[in-house]
């Protein structure tokens, strides 16, 4: 499942569901999708997320297993850590906090339907 974060003052951010839920929990949210944050509640949630990322940010997050177990380690893609995955969401939250704009998140609709 993909989850899309939206606000009126920044571009939409789409990420894998398990990563989005983990980041929502780090923000102090329940991780329930769909959901929303009012403009006044974004700054504290953003601060919690930044503090949590400072602690657990280097942890690898949501990397798919290698397609071939015998693949050389030098050819394997580098792991993507939680700090890297949170970066676009932090930018969206900073823009929303500055403008006091609400943020919503929901499952991404299938573009082929």
The average confidence (pLDDT) of the chain is 87
Q: Which residue range forms the structural domain that includes residue 87?
A: 2-57+79-107
The pTM for the full model equals 0.82
Residue 64: pLDDT band by 50, 70, 90 thresholds? low
The pLDDT score that the predictor gives to residue 35 is 96
The pLDDT score that the predictor gives to residue 58 is 65
Residue showing tokens 């953003």: 46
How many domains does the chain contain in total? 1
Confirm whether 31 is domain-assigned: yes
The pLDDT score that the predictor gives to residue 112 is 61
Cα(73)–Cα(99) distance, rounded to whole angstroms? 45
Confirm whether 27 is domain-assigned: yes
Return the beta strands (E) in 17-111 as ranges.
35-37, 103-107
Q: Give the residue-averaged pLDDT of 80-97.
A: 95
Confirm whether 70 is domain-assigned: no
β-partners of residue 18 are: none
């Amino acid at each position: 499942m993909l989850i899309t974060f939206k606000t009126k003052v920044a571009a939409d951010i789409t990420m894998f569901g398990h990563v989005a839920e983990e980041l929502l929990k780090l923000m102090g949210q329940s991780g329930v999708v769909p959901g929303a944050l009012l403009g006044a509640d974004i700054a504290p949630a953003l601060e919690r997320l930044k503090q949590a990322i400072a602690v657990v940010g280097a942890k690898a997050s949501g990397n798919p297993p290698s397609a071939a177990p015998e693949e050389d380690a030098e050819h394997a893609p580098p792991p993507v850590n939680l700090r890297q995955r949170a970066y676009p969401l932090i930018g969206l939250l900073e823009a929303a906090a500055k403008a006091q704009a609400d943020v919503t998140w929901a499952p991404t609709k299938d573009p082929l339907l």
